[in-house]
Amino acid sequence: MFYYSVRQLSIRVRIAEEKVKKYELQSDNLKFTIAQMSKEMDDKQSEMNEMQKAFKEQISNLQDMLSKKKFEDKKDKFDKVISLLQSASETSKIYEPSFMFFDEWKAETANAETQTDDWMKRFIRRAQSTGPLCTAKAAEFSIPKPVINDNREEAWRLSEEIKKLEMEKYLLTTKLKLASNKLEEFKLQEAQKKSLETRLLILSEMNDCLVRENEELKITGGLKSSAENSGIISETQKTCDQISGDQMNGEPSFKIFHMKMNPLEEAHQELLSSDRKREWKESESSSLQNESSSDLDGTVKKKQRTDLMKQIADLEFQLNKAQKENEKALKLQSDLVKKYRAFVTALSGLQIKMKEDDMVEVESIFDPGNCFTFKIYDYGKTISLLETEYATRWTSQIREYLEGRNSTPAFLASVTLILDERAESTTTVSFYPSD
């Protein structure tokens, strides 16, 4: 199992605090952007409402102007017709007698425009009947029609602009919805990214710690081996110096040293042992690295843990379900027992209660508060009536039915009949079974 030091834990706490601060800043930025977007949407909505109001006012003004223009055109037309009539009346004195069709005057409720049109039609017919002079005069008196297409085109243009603005509003709302959805997706991706970054940081820290420990072990092993080697070399050098000094002092040229251990062989052996120790430490460090790599594969263990938790949760759910079913079955059983006791009491007139040690108390509904006590053996093969104060009142029935016939049902039936006769009741007896 991998243990963490206090320094590693403090570093992790610091990293977690920095991440919390970063998340808080990001959440504040997101809240600020959302507030800005909502404010912009409100401004756009108010602008759209103001534009709609302005366009409605323009449309109403144009409609008023159009109605006024129509009225003015009709008035001008009527004035022109009156002027033409006056001029025609002046010219008709030369070539034609005065008009004699005023006897066909229409009612005052009629429209003035229709009356003038009818009058002009009649005038043209008369001109055609009189000759070319009248036709020329009628041609001279032709009436131009007013043109009001400009106002209609302007109104149509304004309606088209209103439709375009509504379409732009719809597009802006859809874009805002898409932007909000993308923002939520971005938030989810950021959360996933942060979780992955935290995992990566944890794994990198664990790897760095293992690498550092391995390097420290290597350094300590190398220092120890170098110190041992340097000690051995210094000892051999001392011995060599002693030998050379003895030779320079003029002592005999040959001296024999009797040593228990040869220093050179001892140095070789120590070098071999240090190499073995170093190899052993390297193998230990590699095993530690393998263990750390196995620790890094914590996802598999985590998955196994989650599977175990799921299995435990399923077993707990099944246990709760079984307990609920057991409680339900017990409740049904108790209800059935109550029904059975009620039915037995209603049919036989006896309330039967089971006690400990296979003891049974039988109480008649005609004599409540008094009961017989029976002892049951071998699941009812043998039944014995226990001696009680209430049983001594029924000695004759006991002798006749229990001692004489050995019939407990007959005894209980005779007791029920006697109690019923004593009660002298012919009505149906209602009762409530006691638990």
User: What are the DSSP calls for 365-409, one per residue?
Assistant: TTSTT-EEEEEEEGGGTEEEEPP-TTGGGGHHHIIIIIIII--HH
- Residue 283 belongs to a domain: no
CB contact at 8 A, 422 and 366: yes
Among candidate residues 390, 388, 393, the one with its CA nearest the CA of residue 375: 388
In whole angstroms, what separates CA 370 from the centre of its chain? Answer: 66
Is the domain of 340 the same as that of 393?
Answer: no
Is the domain of 341 the same as that of 353?
Answer: no
Contacts of 434 (CB under 8 A, 6+ apart): 351
CB contact at 8 A, 263 and 173: no
Give the angle 53-157-46 at the CA atoms, nearest 5°.
25
Query: Domain range holding 315?
Result: 308-348
Q: At 366, which CATH number? A: 3.30.457.60
Among candidate residues 338, 367, 330, the one with its CA nearest the CA of residue 350: 367
Long-range contacts of 187-195 (CB under 8 A, 24+ apart): 187/30, 190/26, 194/19, 194/23
From first CA to last CA, the distance across the chain in angstroms is: 61
Domain boundary among 317, 348, 379: 348
| The token pair that represents 237 in the structure block | 């050098």
Is the domain of 361 the same as that of 391?
Answer: yes
Is the domain of 363 the same as that of 337?
Answer: no
3-state secondary structure of 100: coil
Contacts of 402 (CB under 8 A, 6+ apart): 385, 408, 411
- Residue 30 belongs to a domain: no
Q: What is the pLDDT of residue 231?
A: 59
Is the domain of 373 the same as that of 387?
Answer: yes
Contacts of 352 (CB under 8 A, 6+ apart): 341, 344, 345, 360, 361, 362
- Residue 324 belongs to a domain: yes
Is the domain of 363 the same as that of 418?
Answer: yes
C-alpha span between 374 and 360 (Å, rounded): 5
- Residue 339 belongs to a domain: yes
Is the domain of 328 the same as that of 360?
Answer: no
Among candidate residues 181, 180, 183, 185, the one with its CA nearest the CA of residue 41: 180
Contacts of 401 (CB under 8 A, 6+ apart): 407, 408, 410, 411, 414
Q: What is the pLDDT of residue 53?
A: 85
3-state secondary structure of 159: helix
- Per-residue model confidence as pLDDT tens for the chain (435 residues): 444 566 777 787 788 888 888 888 888 888 888 888 888 888 888 888 888 888 888 888 888 888 888 888 888 888 888 887 777 666 554 444 444 444 444 444 445 555 556 666 665 666 555 544 444 444 444 444 444 456 677 778 788 888 888 888 888 888 888 888 888 888 888 887 787 777 777 776 776 777 777 677 767 666 655 555 555 556 655 655 665 555 445 444 444 444 555 555 666 677 777 777 777 777 766 665 555 555 555 666 677 777 778 888 888 888 888 888 888 888 888 888 888 888 888 888 898 888 888 899 999 988 888 899 999 888 888 888 988 888 888 989 888 888 888 888 999 999 999 888 888 754 444 444 444
CB atoms inside a 10 Å sphere around CB 98:
8
Helix axis angle for 6-95 and 132-140, nearest 10°, is 150
Give the angle 183-185-191 at the CA atoms, nearest 5°.
105
Place of tokens 């002693």: 242
Domain boundary among 297, 316, 348: 348
Q: What is the pLDDT of residue 185?
A: 82
Is the domain of 371 the same as that of 420?
Answer: yes
Is the domain of 318 the same as that of 359?
Answer: no
Q: Count the domains in the chain.
A: 2
Helix axis angle for 6-95 and 149-248, nearest 10°, is 160
Is the domain of 359 the same as that of 421?
Answer: yes
Q: What is the pLDDT of residue 333?
A: 86
Is the domain of 343 the same as that of 354?
Answer: no
C-alpha span between 322 and 307 (Å, rounded): 22
Q: Where are the alpha helices (DSSP H) in 96-131?
A: 112-130
3-state secondary structure of 341: helix
- Residue 335 belongs to a domain: yes
